[in-house]
Amino acid sequence: MSTVAKAVSLLEILGSGAPETALADLARRACFDKATTRRLLVSLIAHGLVEQDETTRLYRLGAGIARLALMREAQFPFLRIAAPVVEALAAATGETVHLSEYSKRGLITVHVVESAKANRVSVQLGDVLPMHATASGIAFLAFSEERIREAILAGPLPAFTPHTIGDAGTLAEHIAAARARGHSTGSQGYEEGVLSVAAPILGADGFAIGTIAVAAPRVRVHTGDIERHGAGVAVAARDISERLFGGLPGRKRA
């Protein structure tokens, strides 16, 4: 295991769970020696990616993380551009709308506007959505590079609910259907009782770079709602793509 892999693991562990973590706890969770863990943390602290409480000796993610994220956002203002569209769609539908961005590990939820209704779908910021079990994932795969799609179809398809698609053939059908329609639908594949509709946000090269999705409790979805939301996310996704890439002919982006 490479040293940077270990360092990143520590960051991920610090990010998940409690806001602050003790050294021994961290070492145990990461399965590293205490000494190793501490030395990695010292390096990370020197660069501001981790901070340590002076008195309690507890560790937490540092402001350097935020700095990197801000620099990235300055280079590629995905959130700044897409967030208003998400808000607008949330207002128009009255349901929870979430935005995600592709990453090696899955689709990362980068923005959420929850429905104002009491019975609503809640999505955690930073959550990683599985490709095969969510409307977002299927919408993404329908417009992704073939390499990514095949990797998912070839890999394991863990079940999150009894409704999760566990068969590569069925998944391929869903993907094909989503490609034909321009948006996907997800039915309780990740969480029970949740229906979702998602559309891909396309990059400059025509491949998906993220998705926008509407998620509603099953009991509230009536005839025509799926189609209405499907049209909504498709328009919103296209809108985001255009704002990101339409106005800047010089800039290329995968």
Partner DNA sequence: AAATGCCGTTGCAAATAGTGAAATGCACAT
Partner DNA sequence: ATGTGCATTTCACTATTTGCAACGGCATTT
Q: Contact residues for DNA (CB under 7 A)?
A: 1-4, 6, 22-25, 32-36, 38-40, 43, 52, 57-58
Contact between 11 and a second copy (CB under 8 A)? Answer: yes
- Rounded-to-integer distance, Cα 10 and Cα 5, Å: 9
49 binds a second copy (CB under 8 A): yes
C-alpha distances out from residue 4 to 7, 38, 40, 72, Å: 5, 14, 9, 20
- Measured from the CB atom, the residue of 73 and 167 that comes closer to a second copy is 73
Interface pick for a second copy out of 24, 66, 91, 116 (rule CB under 8 A):
66
Any contact of residue 19 with a second copy (CB under 8 A)? yes
Among 101, 174, 190, 194, binds a second copy (CB under 8 A): 101
Q: Which of 34, 35, 73, 193 binds a second copy (CB under 8 A)?
A: 73
Binder among 28, 47, 117, 218 for a second copy (CB under 8 A): 47
One-letter identity of residue 32: F
Residue 35, contacted partner among DNA, a second copy, none, CB below 5-8 A by kind = DNA
Specify the residue, 47 or 218, whose C-beta has the smaller distance to a second copy. 47
The yes or no reply on residue 252 touching a second copy (CB under 8 A) is yes
Q: Which does 22 bind (CB under 5 to 8 A by kind): a second copy, DNA, none?
A: DNA
* Residue 49 beta carbon to a second copy: minimum distance, rounded to whole angstroms: 6
Could you tell me the CA-to-CA distances from 115 to 96, 97, 171, 225, 244 in Å, in that order? Answer: 4, 8, 29, 15, 26
Minimum CB distance to a second copy, residue 101 (Å): 5
Residues lying near a second copy in the complex (CB under 8 A) are found at 2-5, 7-8, 11-12, 15-16, 18-19, 40, 43-49, 51, 53-56, 60-76, 79, 101-105, 108-110, 124-126, 128, 145, 205, 251-254
